[in-house]
Chains A and B, each alone.
Chain A
């Protein structure tokens, strides 16, 4: 079955370390996204990519980096510059139909919970 796989499910980071969260999709979607979820704050966009080898900053990109070398993969690195990285991270992908002018919405992964220890 097609879907998005995020790994690991739980991740612990020491102060000063960089960590990378994996996101892989086999839906043949063009666009991929990373969101951060904190209690009571909904979802905030970190980075997104509409095509391979291209990506844009979202609303809270500071302290994060991404790459999009393959259509299927969009890894997120949480760097030591991110001062408060403890959160739930969600990856998503989407497609659209230009002919029908219809956006088919997002498919989400099951998330990675990152904790700083």
Chain B
């Protein structure tokens, strides 16, 4: 079946540090890949997405590249801010062209300190 594996948290960084949160997936066919962010007490917000191999999703300084050869979609940001503290979820949608179900990773908590 489909699965998403994320690095365990929490990840604690100082402000302006470089961020990487690893995400690998297992799926058949050509999944779409997503990163969602959840701030305390809130729902999930779509951060970025990529729908085919070698696509790069980007938003608010975050980037992730769809690597089919390594089945990965690692999230990166060059300089984190305290306001980036949240839980980040990697997810995949396995079937292009249908309203298919998302499979989520377990989430990685990021804490950014001054």
Contact = CB atoms under 8 A, between A and B. Distances in A.
Chain A: number of interface residues, binned into ranges: 20 to 34
Nearest to B4: A42
Interface string B48-74: 010100000000000000000000000
Interface in A69-115: 90, 92, 94-98, 101-103, 105-111
B96 A90 contact: no
B13 interface: no
B106 interface: yes
Per DSSP, are chain A's interface residues mostly helix, strand or loop, or mixed?
strand
Contacts of A103: 32, 51, 93, 95-100
A98 B46 contact: no
Contacts of A21: none
Contact of A96 (B42, B46, B97, B106): B97
A110 B41 CA distance: 8
Chain B: number of interface residues, binned into ranges: 20 to 34
Contacts of B34: 105
Interface string B72-99: 0000000000000000010001011111
Contacts of A42: 89, 104-107
Interface stretch (A11-19, A43-51, A60-68): A43-51
Contact of B44 (A6, A31, A48, A108): A108
B31 to A, nearest CB: 9
A74 to B, nearest CB: 13
A105 B46 contact: yes
Interface string B26-52: 000000101010000111111001010
17 contacts: A4-B43, A40-B106, A43-B44, A96-B97, A96-B99, A101-B96, A103-B32, A103-B98, A103-B99, A105-B46, A105-B49, A105-B93, A106-B46, A108-B36, A108-B44, A109-B43, A111-B42
Interface of A: 4, 6, 30-31, 33, 40-43, 45, 48, 50, 58, 90, 92, 94-98, 101-103, 105-111
